[in-house]
């Protein structure tokens, strides 16, 4: 999940109190009178000083009164983690891919992980990615859970904004398979990734 903070935002000589949410590629602000969705890539002059995060965007200049979060958020905006870093994929890992992923992700995996198997899960696999575009594909979770060992991670990647595959349903399928949901990451502009592991007592 992203980082949340209650704060005041200043812009155009006005002050508005609300809640700020720092996502993987966006800074979101919500209040009764103002809603903002500011993309990192479009930000300029990002600075933190005396507890205030200031930045410029095509939508205007904003100053977020965040206190101790200001410097941390500025650092995350200026130096965002790569997708694979957020997913915890290291260069010494063996990765398994189940289902179909876009070419960009396949390329990222190929450059980062020494061994990437498709459709097969080896005993020493560190990380598994399951593409679940349909409920039928989501049901593969049960069989995957049966072959997971130790601290192997399963990332279920599913589409955003669909009523047939919701976060609650994905979590439910994982839990019924005996797994524990531990993390959620924005996989892309169209997909979300939920991480599951075997409970410590069952490893």
Domains 3-78 and 83-202 share a fold: no
Name the fold adopted by 3-78.
Answer: PH-domain like (2.30.29)
What are 141-192's pLDDT values in tens digits? 999 999 999 999 999 999 998 988 999 999 999 999 999 999 998 898 899 9
Q: Structurally, what CATH architecture does the domain formed by 83-202 represent?
A: 3-Layer(aba) Sandwich (3.40)
What is the DSSP annotation of 114-161? SEEEES---TT--EEEEE-SSHHHHTTHHHHHHH--TT-EEEEEEETT
Is the pTM value of this prediction over 0.85?
no
Q: What's the CA gap between 19 and 24, in Å, rounded? A: 17
Listed by start position, the domains of the chain span 3-78, 83-202
């Amino acid at each position: 999940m992203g980082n949340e903070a209650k704060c005041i935002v200043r812009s155009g000589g006005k002050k508005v109190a609300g809640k700020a949410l720092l996502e993987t590629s966006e800074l979101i602000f919500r209040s009764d009178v103002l809603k903002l969705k500011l993309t990192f890539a479009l930000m300029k002059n990002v600075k933190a000083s005396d507890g205030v995060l200031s930045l410029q965007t095509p939508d205007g200049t904003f100053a977020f009164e965040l206190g101790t979060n200001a410097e941390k958020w500025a650092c995350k905006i200026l130096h965002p983690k790569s997708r694979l870093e957020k997913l915890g994929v290291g260069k010494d890992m063996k990765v398994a891919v189940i289902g179909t992923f876009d070419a960009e992700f396949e390329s990222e995996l190929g450059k980062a992980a020494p061994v990437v198997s498709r459709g097969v899960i080896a005993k020493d696999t560190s990380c598994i990615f399951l593409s679940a575009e349909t409920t039928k594909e989501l049901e593969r979770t049960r069989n995957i859970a049966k072959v997971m060992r130790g601290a192997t991670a399963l990332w279920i990647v599913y589409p955003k904004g669909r009523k047939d595959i919701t976060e609650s349903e994905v979590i439910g399928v994982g839990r019924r398979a005996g797994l524990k949901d531990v993390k959620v990451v924005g996989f892309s502009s169209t997909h979300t990734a939920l991480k599951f592991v075997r409970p410590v007592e069952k490893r």
